[in-house]
């Protein structure tokens, strides 16, 4: 995602990936509303939709079964279930079409930075030179560790094994045993995942914090421990493990090196937010880093990546902590869960929680102003169709209902749509390339000040 965003601004990008092949674990992830909106903003949604399954937007907070309240404020008010390898492939194809170079089978093992750039060392000793380096290298991020950035939080308390395999007993027998275990175990399932293949989730024997995948023998042992039978599992398609550690990087940037995605934050998968959070980090960072590289970024622009995105991750970590408590089978936690379930009958409570999970409730702190300032603008109707269709190039946009403002001086970075009919409850708004509202008003001076604040000095 980050590579594609940078390519929109003609920045040369090399993605260095340690694995020779794409990951095989076919974990289904959910793309939540804000991520779907971002895809729409770059014209990617049409490409992604046929590979996913639309599901209702609600019922994702601690898996409490409440449908979304009426009037959800988005054209994309659903969840898209899609296998993670598929969304990764689609984003990789998109980035490559945009001109990104991808080199597989290359692990970053070291780097040094100076005033002009970063020298990156690969496992085979090759050295690469770039102006910036972004560690999008996951929870065990080499880049973060080499930077010496702290990753405080809570270690994993539990670990789960997850995989796909065949079973050696008839489906009816599986169904009866599984139904009995599901009564008491939250972290267990064994369910059909295609012809003859079952998806398996089972608690691991302990917490290992190991990177390598578990073995079929590990699954057999744990199935025995939980179900009293291993269901005759065999012929695994893929096997993986994950823990529930919660951690946040102390800093997202040290000089010319930045962190994004799981390299910067990890949390339990409850609510399905990790990949969404990383994609949204990339969307926030891409245009800022491009501006920095092209030399038009205002001095503090790149640092707003951390000041905006780290609090968002902090909030996600907190909501996963809360959700994890609500999944506990302890009587106290169950009582709180029942209470919250009742409270979610109030649409405002339900909406508040849904806005957290789907990331449409985010408001960056751009200073005092109307409530819309700092929020994302939904995909409203404009005279040419849908607003998001005008954001495909990743530029700023002045949506001008007064039809008398101008972006002269910034027209190489910012588009101007004069449209008195736009379905907007404000005279004019300035949108950043990530779709957040950077200014609301009707006076040219105020607009110019904010164009300078976000898009640097005018060209003339
Ligand atoms: C069971 C489960 C279910 C989940 N469900 C959801 C969901 O529904 N929705 C959601 O949003 N999220 C979900 N997640 C979270 C999601 O999978 C992660 O947040 C996401 O994969 C993070 O993406 P990333 O690119 O930051 O890191 P990763 O996916 O970890 O990618 C990092 C990449 O960097 C490479 N790399 C590592 N070190 C180096 C190095 N030194 N040099 C070069 N390359 C390197 C790795 O090979 C890897 O390809 C789930 C997670 C789990 C475990």
Q: Does residue 329 register a pLDDT over 90?
A: no
The minimum-distance atom of ligand 1 relative to the CA of 16 is 43
Residue of 89, 144, 263, 275 to mutate, ligand 1, most atoms within 8 A of C-beta: 275
> Which residues have C-beta within 8 Å of that of residue 87, sequence separation ≥ 6?
29, 31, 48, 51, 52, 275
| Mean pLDDT, residues 146-164 | 96
Q: Indicate whether residue 29 lines ligand 1 (CB < 6 A).
A: yes
> What are residue 162's DSSP bridge partners?
201, 240
Which residue, 110, 135, 107, 137, is CA-closest to 121? 110
- CB of 394 closer than 8 Å to CB of 289: no
Whether 262 is in the pocket of ligand 1, judged by its Cβ within 6 Å, is yes
- This prediction has a pTM of 0.95
Q: What rounded mean pLDDT belongs to the chain?
A: 95
Task: Using alpha carbons only, give the angle 137, 140, 141 rounded to the nearest 5 degrees.
Answer: 40
Q: Summarize pLDDT for 376-407 with one digit per residue, the tens.
A: 999 999 999 999 999 999 999 999 999 999 99
The predicted model gives 91-99 an average pLDDT of 97
Average pLDDT over residues 102-130: 98
Q: Is the CB of 244 under 6 A from ligand 1?
A: no
CA of 378 to the centre of ligand 1 (A): 28
Q: At what angle do helices 304-326 and 347-358 cross, to 10 degrees?
A: 120
**Residue 450 binned pLDDT confidence (cut-offs 50, 70, 90):** very high
Residue 231: the pLDDT is 95
Q: Are 312 and 263 in contact (CB under 8 A)?
A: no
Helix (H, G, I), strand (E, B) or coil at 299: coil
pLDDT digits (tens, 9 = 90+) for 334-374: 999 999 999 999 999 999 999 999 999 999 999 999 999 99
pLDDT tops 80 at residue 209: no
Ligand 1 center to 249 CA (angstroms): 16
286: exposed, middle or buried (Cβ count in 10 Å: 0-12, 13-18, 19+) = buried
């Amino acid at each position: 995602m980050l590579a594609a965003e940078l390519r929109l601004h003609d920045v040369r990008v090399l993605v260095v990936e340690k694995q020779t092949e794409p990951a095989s674990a076919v974990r289904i992830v959910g793309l939540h509303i804000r991520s779907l909106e971002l895809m729409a903003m770059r014209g990617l949604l049409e490409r992604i939709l046929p590979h996913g399954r639309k599901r209702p937007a609600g019922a994702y907070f601690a898996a409490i079964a409440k449908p979304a309240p009426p009037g959800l404020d988005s054209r994309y008010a659903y969840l898209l279930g899609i296998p993670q390898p598929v969304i990764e492939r689609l984003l990789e194809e998109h980035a490559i079409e945009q001109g990104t170079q991808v080199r597989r089978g290359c692990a970053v093992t070291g780097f040094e930075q100076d005033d002009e750039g970063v020298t990156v060392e690969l496992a085979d000793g090759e050295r690469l030179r770039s102006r910036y380096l972004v560690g999008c290298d996951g929870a065990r991020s080499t880049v973060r560790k080499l930077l010496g950035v702290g990753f405080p939080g809570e270690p994993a308390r539990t670990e789960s094994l997850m995989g796909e395999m065949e079973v050696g007993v008839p489906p009816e027998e599986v169904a009866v045993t599984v139904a009995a275990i599901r009564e008491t175990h939250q972290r267990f399932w064994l369910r059909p995942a295609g012809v003859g293949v079952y998806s398996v989730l089972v608690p691991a024997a302990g917490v290992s914090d190991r990177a390598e995948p578990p073995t079929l023998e590990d699954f057999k042992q744990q199935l025995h421990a939980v179900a009293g039978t291993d269901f005759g599992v065999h012929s695994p398609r893929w096997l993986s493990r994950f823990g529930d550690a919660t951690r946040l990087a102390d800093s997202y940037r040290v000089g010319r090196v930045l962190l994004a995605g799981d390299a910067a934050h990890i949390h339990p998968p409850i609510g399905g937010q990790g990949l969404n959070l990383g994609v949204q980090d990339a969307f926030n960072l891409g245009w800022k880093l491009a501006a920095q590289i092209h030399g038009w970024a205002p001095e503090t622009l790149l640092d707003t990546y951390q000041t905006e995105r780290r609090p968002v991750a902090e909030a996600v970590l907190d909501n996963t902590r809360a959700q994890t408590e609500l999944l506990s089978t302890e009587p106290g936690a169950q009582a709180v869960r029942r209470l919250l379930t009742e409270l979610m009958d109030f649409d405002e409570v339900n909406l508040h929680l849904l806005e957290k999970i789907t990331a449409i409730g985010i408001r960056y702190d751009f200073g005092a102003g109307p409530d819309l300032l700092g929020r994302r603008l939904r995909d409203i109707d404009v005279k040419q169709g849908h607003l998001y269709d005008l954001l495909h190039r990743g530029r700023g946009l002045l949506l001008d209902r007064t039809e008398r403002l101008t972006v002269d001086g910034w027209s190489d970075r910012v588009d101007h749509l004069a449209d008195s009919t736009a379905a907007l409850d404000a005279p004019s708004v300035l949108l950043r390339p990530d779709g957040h509202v950077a200014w609301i008003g009707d006076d040219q001076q105020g607009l110019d000040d904010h164009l300078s604040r976000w898009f640097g000095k005018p060209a003339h």
